[in-house]
Amino acid sequence: MQRKVLYGLLLVVLLAVPVLGIYPLFVMKVMCFALFAAAFNLLIGYTGLLSFGHAMFLASAGYVTGYAMQTLGFSPELGVLAGTASATLLGFIVGLFAIRRQGIYFAMVTLALAQMVYFVFLQAPFTHGEDGLQGVPRGKLFGVLDLSSDVALYFVVLAVMVLAFLLIVRIVHSPFGQVLVAIKENEPRAVSLGYDTDRFKLLAFVLSAGLAGLAGSLKVVVQGFETLSDAYWTMSGLVVLMTLVGGMGTLFGPLLGAALIVALEDRLGDIGGALASTTGIEWFRSLGESVTIVTGVIFIACVLAFRRGIVGEIIARVRPLRA
């Protein structure tokens, strides 16, 4: 009940964002990365599979959605569906190879395949290489709702985000989700109980890839462009950081972690520009580019001080009090 109240309050705040005068584009960006982190958490937090290549699903869906809407004239809903389907298919292909290994070998296989996908995007003509896709139109949803308005697009993204989060909650609390947790805790025991663990891990990988692709598709519609930075390995590391800082294996943790990291990156860029303009020292302007140093320090502090993440530590301290 307390968890439902918390989610209800969060939903009320998100619904009131346009009324409160908060920048809708920033909140939509946060929601896209929050969905990306929640999809990744479904794989690592509940299945125990550490992927270092999840950026390929975010970027592949983004490129497919952007190309479909800009060049092929797809409507927003068809473009998002095409991008999500492409990421899901890519997740199935990658998963067939990756689940054959465990632990660090699984992570290295996903990283290697993600780098291959990155170089494909770098050379493919439809991605425009380092220039990326620019000026992707938002179009009209179902031919009726004009998404050129930030407020209209905001509520569409919020609705998709809520539905995707409810899907993740349903997956986690279903018998299928309990089998995933069993695989994470003790895979040999799950095998001895008669479960085909490879099939369950593959399905979890495909679901995670599809949800990450949905986040990438929405991100392109919101921002209107897609670049190689979404396919680079640092994006895969960033989603790991979001999940660990917020709380791996919790439903709310990745959402909080994504909000903190995205807000930190954006604010550091603004602070660096402001300091440069007021002091005349150009070194401050590079502060936004050096945000990885700050996020690295946060990651080290998270690992040393609260290994369960922010939400995980709160839950661990509240449970004894409630008992």
Q: In terms of CATH architecture, what is 24-322? A: Orthogonal Bundle (1.10)
Burial of 203 (0-12, 13-18, 19+ CB in 10 A): middle
Pairwise CA distance, residues 55 & 239, whole Å: 8
Strand, helix or coil at 148?
Answer: coil
What backbone phi and psi angles, to 5 degrees, belong to 140? -120, 130
37, 242 in Cβ contact below 8 A? yes
Pairwise CA distance, residues 81 & 105, whole Å: 32
What backbone phi and psi angles, to 5 degrees, belong to 234? -65, -30
Place of tokens 């992707």: 136
Mean pLDDT in order along the chain per 10 residues (323 residues): 76 82 84 93 90 92 92 90 95 92 89 92 87 85 84 90 92 92 90 90 94 93 89 88 86 86 69 43 50 71 76 75 64
How many of the other CB atoms lie within 10 Å of CB of 119? 11
Residue 187: the pLDDT is: 87
Strand, helix or coil at 306?
Answer: coil
Residue 308: the pLDDT is: 78
42, 208 in Cβ contact below 8 A? yes
Q: Domain spans of the chain?
A: 24-322
Residue 267: the pLDDT is: 59
Residue 271 in tokens: 């602070």
